[in-house]
Amino acid sequence: MSRDAAKARGEVFAPWLDENAEPLIRFDRVTKKFGDFVAIDDLSIDIYEREFFALLGPSGCGKTTLMRMLAGFETPTTGKIMLAGKNIGPIPANKRPVNMMFQSYALFPHLTVADNIAFGLKRSDMPKDQIAARVDEMLGLVQLKKFGGRKPHQISGGQRQRVALARALAKSPKLLLLDEPLAALDRKLREETQFELMDIQEKLGTTFVIVTHDQEEAMTVASRVAVMDHGQLIQVATPEAIYETPNSRYVADFIGDINLIEGAVKSVARDIAEISWAESMEPLRATAPEGLTKGANCCFAIRPEKVSISAERPEKAANALPGKVIDIGYLGNMSTYHVELANGQMVKAQVPNQNRLSRHAFTWEDAVWVSFTATAGLVLTA
């Protein structure tokens, strides 16, 4: 079943919610150590067929090690990695139905584009006459039909990236690994290529696992994102869930821009928690997560675009705080205001620039009110 067909019937592609779904990949309590250094720390995860799964985290978080274990370049110190129900631990890289697209592309400089794509096919048991047809098909898929005879150094960076993709996909792997596939492209090309990647993934239905440190890229392409830190998974969820309901300060801070205000739970009543965060300041009101207890230390988190800014105190706002405009960042499509509250706490508020030529409503040193609803912010305890 393709994702399109599922969409047509009003279903959402979410095999991870289906208890009966068999995962394509299962990491079962995998630990990987390099000497004393623990790269992957007792990690378990299921990845399903047709998923576009993103491993996101800062460098050194273990995401690359995780991918290299899938490719077969590293073996787990303890734990099992299952691919389609089979333990792939003892299977060497050249025997796995898994292919990888390298960050450096790793195109063979002495072979033409077509020979690069045919390289893996020639190592398989595919008959010779079919190889040429398959290479042609792959060149068509990545729109490089005219470039088959060129050497890698004779084509542009974007074209090399597509050759690397075609080469990795040529053997129809069960799983395609992409190691920072777009890092070497400039911003504009990168954005275009993200959508191309998604199209190709949907067309072929291959499971993709992408490693990236670029959160925007992960959010754009992935069906689920795993945020990693120090060899552990911090949160695994859809891009929407990662952005709107991060489970910890780490995830909230890593993904996008956010205001974090440390405080303590003053009271919990009818789903609404009051958080005291500074002397002489009104407590903040926000939806309480389950199990929140009075007196607990917590962190109030709110995205800048959910913060409103006004000259007068809004009447009905659940939260309203007075402050002073310190800085204005003009981003074109929106402006970011840095507002300093009475106790010195800085709050960022983002306001879309809906009218062309309209002047900024506020300027430096203006006294303003920042306000937000009770459901706009999050109370994080982790």
Chosen residue from 7, 29, 86, 123 binding another protein by CB under 8 A: 123
- Closest CB to another protein among 99 and 371? 99
Q: Which stretch binds another protein (CB under 8 A): 9-17, 55-63, 166-174, 202-210?
A: 166-174
Place of tokens 């499509």: 333
Decide if 24 contacts 84 (C-beta within 8 A).
yes
Sheet holding 224-229, edge to edge: 98-101, 175-179, 207-212, 52-56, 224-229, 232-237
Q: How far is the CB of 102 from another protein (least distance, A)?
A: 5
- Closest CB to another protein among 139 and 168? 168
Decide if 185 contacts 193 (C-beta within 8 A).
yes
- Closest CB to another protein among 55 and 98? 98
* Count of residues of this chain found to bind another protein when the rule CB under 8 A is applied: 25
Chosen residue from 124, 130, 156, 375 binding another protein by CB under 8 A: 124
* Half-sphere exposure (Cβ direction) of 310: Cα atoms closer than 13 Å: 13
Residue 12 zone, left/alpha/beta (φ > 0; ψ -120 to 50; rest)? beta
Residues 44-73 that bind another protein (CB under 8 A): 71-73
Decide if 336 contacts 329 (C-beta within 8 A).
yes
- Closest CB to another protein among 29 and 122? 122
229: closest CA among 212, 251, 211?
A: 251
Q: How far is the CB of 57 from another protein (least distance, A)?
A: 21
Neighbours of 351 (CB within 10 A): 18
Q: How far is the CB of 142 from another protein (least distance, A)?
A: 17
Q: How far is the CB of 217 from another protein (least distance, A)?
A: 21
- Closest CB to another protein among 104 and 156? 104
Residue 109 binding another protein, by CB under 8 A: yes
Residue 323 binding another protein, by CB under 8 A: no
**How many angstroms separate the CA atoms of 325 and 363, rounded?**
7
Residue 167 binding another protein, by CB under 8 A: yes
Place of tokens 């911003």: 187
Residue 120 binding another protein, by CB under 8 A: yes
Chosen residue from 171, 224, 303, 348 binding another protein by CB under 8 A: 171
Residue ranges in the chain assigned as alpha helix (H): 3-8, 63-71, 113-123, 128-141, 157-169, 187-204, 215-221, 239-244, 249-254
- Closest CB to another protein among 47 and 170? 170
* CA angle (227 as vertex; 382, 238 as ends), nearest 5: 100
- Closest CB to another protein among 109 and 332? 109
Q: How far is the CB of 71 from another protein (least distance, A)?
A: 6
Residue type present at position 155: I
- Closest CB to another protein among 176 and 234? 176
**How many angstroms separate the CA atoms of 81 and 98, rounded?**
13
Site string for another protein, 68-97 (x = CB under 8 A): ---xxx------------------xxxx--
366's CB contacts (< 8 A; 6+ apart) are 311, 324, 325
- Closest CB to another protein among 31 and 103? 103
Chosen residue from 104, 293, 353, 375 binding another protein by CB under 8 A: 104
Decide if 342 contacts 323 (C-beta within 8 A).
yes
Q: Which stretch binds another protein (CB under 8 A): 101-109, 155-163, 257-265, 294-302?
A: 101-109
Q: How far is the CB of 153 from another protein (least distance, A)?
A: 8
| Dihedral over alpha carbons 268, 270, 271, 273 (to 10 degrees) | -30
Chosen residue from 34, 108, 330, 364 binding another protein by CB under 8 A: 108
Coil, strand or helix: which one is 129? helix
Chosen residue from 119, 213, 266, 366 binding another protein by CB under 8 A: 119
Residues at the interface with another protein (CB under 8 A): 71-73, 92-95, 98-100, 102-104, 106, 108-110, 119-120, 123-124, 153, 167-168, 171
